Structure 1
Amino acid sequence: MSVYRVVVTETPPDWNPDGLDDVPPHPPEPKRYLGEHSDLFAAVQAAIEHNRQIQGGQNREWAVVCEMGSGGKTWRGLRICTPLRYKIASIWWPAGWEPVSPFDVPLCVCRTQGTLQEDLLTYDQALATMKALNQQAIDRASTLWYVMIAVENEPISRSISYDPAGLQTTVEIRKIHIAQPAEGGRGDCSHCPARGLDCTTVSE
C-alpha cells in the first residue's frame, strides 16, 4: 500500500506558486514532515491547508506531497506527487445507476474508455469540463459518463531509447487516480442489478 507523506521544504524568496499544491523549482531537502496518509487526496488536502495558512506571509515553509519508498528525480527515497494535474476520461454508464449531479462518480468505476484530452488540465479546468460533458450526457441519455483522472507529478519510471534513424523515444509511467469532486457524490444505485453487493469496498 502506498504511503503519502506531507513534507515541508523551503521556497525561494521571490517564488509565486501557480496553486496551493504547486512545488517550488529545485526544492531543498525536506526540513520536517506534517503527517502520513494512505490516501493521496487526503495528503494533498493537508498540504493545501498548510500552504493556505502561510500564503502571503513571511513563512517560507511550503508543504509538498511525496510517496515514501519510491525513488524520485528530486529527493532520495521520496517521489514528489504534487502538483496534481488532471485529464477527463469516459466510462460506460453503469446499468441501473443514476447521477444526482454532473459531479457524481459511481463506486463501480473499473475501466475507462479512453482519455479525451492529452493535455493536462488544472483542477478547475477539469471540473468545468466534467460538468459540461456530464450535463450533456444526462440531457441526451448517453451511454457514457465522464470522470476526472488525477495524474501525479514525478513518474514512477522513465526510460529513453534511440533507434538507428536517430530518433529518441521517452516513456514515462505515472500513477493516476480517479478524483471525487467535493461538489458531487456517488449517485443513486438503488436500481442497480448488483445493488446487493457491497460496492463501498470497491477501490480505484
Structure 2
Amino acid sequence: MTPSSIRKVYQGAADRRQMFRMFDRHKERPNRTDDGATALYAGEWFEIGAAEHDYMFEILPPLWMRGDMFAMREFLSGSITSIFFALTIDGRARFFHGYCDLSDRGSPEQLRTAIVERESRPVRAMTREERLEHIWSSTHDDYRGYAGEQWRAQDRGKRTVLFYGGRQGTTLKLLDHLTDAEISAKLPVHLRYLPDAIAA
C-alpha cells in the first residue's frame, strides 16, 4: 500500500447502517467475480463510533490485535481485510475502519499513520477526491453505478451518479467528471463550504 492509495471515503462518523453499507461500497462493480479487487479496496478508510467499533470486536475473535488496532478474521477479497482502530487524536478517543492488504505487512501501521495525520489537521478541509468519495459513499445504490456498454469504450466501468440538473432533468454522469458546482450540489449542506485541502 502506498501513501497515495490511502484515502478517506466518508466525512463524519458513520453510524452502524452506513458502516455496513460502506464495507462493500463497490459491490455493484463490473466483473465482481474476478479476484482483482485489491487496488479497489486497499487503503480506504472512514470514521465510526465507539459502539460500532466494539460491536465489530465482539462479532468474531480477531485475526490479530496490536495495541490500538485489530484485524477481522474474514477476508473481503484475497489478502484484503478490515482493520479497526481506536486512536487518541488531539486528546480525544476516535474510532476508524480501514481496508489493508495483509500481504504488505506494514500496511496497518501505514494506514494508522495516515489517519492520524489526516485527522490532526487544525482546520477541517476536504480534497476534491474526498468530496467525490463522500458523494459515492453516501449515494443510494439505486442512484449510482458503473458506465456500461452505451458509454465510450474509455469510460466503461467508471463510476456514475445520477445528477438532477434543474430544467435539463436528471442525467447520469461520470463521478470523476462532476464540476465543482455539481459536487457542491451533491454534498450535504454542512460539507459544501469547507475549504479545499491540498492532497497529500
TM-score w.r.t. the length of structure 1 is 0.24
Structure with greater Cα Rg? 1
